[in-house]
Structure 1
Amino acid sequence: MLKIFKITAILEGISYLVLFSNMLFIKPNYFELYHTLLYPIGMSHGVLFIGYILLAFLLKKRMQWSLTTFGIILAASLIPFGTFYVEYKYLKTDQKNLKNV
């Protein structure tokens, strides 16, 4: 389940950045393309965001995260590049610990 959470964290971060790119770079210049891309990008980001939050709740007890660590992991989903930081800082584990997760 930890591997799925890592993949979800990375994909959620990428979808967040693509959504911002759509708003910042495409909207001012190509308004019609912006509306065409908004629904699929927004929907995929929403699904990945919900998956990230649900997987974080499911892994909280297994990974023995403190309340502070869990709060950081949840707050990182709201900040651009935050999920990449979580994947780098909190989801690195030893191979011995992966047997239990």
Structure 2
Amino acid sequence: MNTLFKYLAIIEGYSFLLILFITMPLKYIAGMGMPNKIIGMAHGVLFLSYIVVAIIIAQEKKWNFKDTFIVMIMSVVPFGTFWMEEEYLMEEKATS
């Protein structure tokens, strides 16, 4: 489950960056809304999956509320999932 969450965090982070830096400018500057719809739909599914798996991992790893909240809030911060993956998941790997 930890490996799934790691890859999900990375993919969700990239989808968020695609929306922020590519599809939103295309939508509002170039008037091309279709890429935003496609990537936005994928990002929505990835975001919800990230949250669900984060809750499962938090219960499995017995994270406290603060750590669980940080992991979840990083999904709405640009580059946050990359930091979270490095900080929380790599740290556990080193101690295991």
Return the TM-score normalized by structure 2.
Answer: 0.89
Q: What amino acid is aligned across from residue 44 of structure 2 in structure 1?
A: G
Question: Following TM superposition, by how much is the alpha carbon of 1:30 offset from its aligned partner in structure 2, in angstroms?
Answer: 2.1
Distance in 2, Cα, partners of 1:69 & 1:13: 18
Q: Return the alpha-carbon distance in structure 1 between the equivalents of residues 38 and 86 of structure 2.
A: 28
In 2: Cα distance, 1:56 partner to 1:28 partner: 32
- Percentage identity across aligned positions? 35
Report what 2:2 is aligned to: 2
After superposition, the C-alpha distances for 1:35-85 in whole angstroms (9 at most, x for unaligned) are 121211000000000000000011112112111110100110111111011
Query: In structure 2, do the counterparts of structure 1 residues 82 and 74 end up closer, same or farther at CA, with 3 Å as the change threshold?
Result: same
Matched residue pairs, number?
Answer: 94
* Corresponding residue number in structure 2 for 1:16: 16
Give, in whole Å, the separation in 1 of the partners of 2:68 and 2:34. 36
Structure-2 change in CA distance of 1:69 and 1:95 (3 Å):
closer
Larger radius of gyration: 1
Partner of 1:47: 45
Which residues of 2 match residues 69-88 of structure 1 at below 5 A? 69-88=67-86
SS of 1:90 mapped into structure 2: helix
Match of 2:93 in 1: 94
Q: What's the CA shift for 1:95?
A: 6.8
TM normalised by structure 1 equals: 0.85
The answer for unaligned runs of 5 or more in structure 1 is none
Deviation, structure 1 residue 89: 0.1
Shift of 1:29: 3.9
Structure 1 stretches (4+) deviating beyond 6 angstroms? Answer: none
Deviation at 1:28, TM superposition (A): 4.3
Cα shift at 1:27: 3.0
How far apart are 1:6 and its partner, in Å? Answer: 0.4
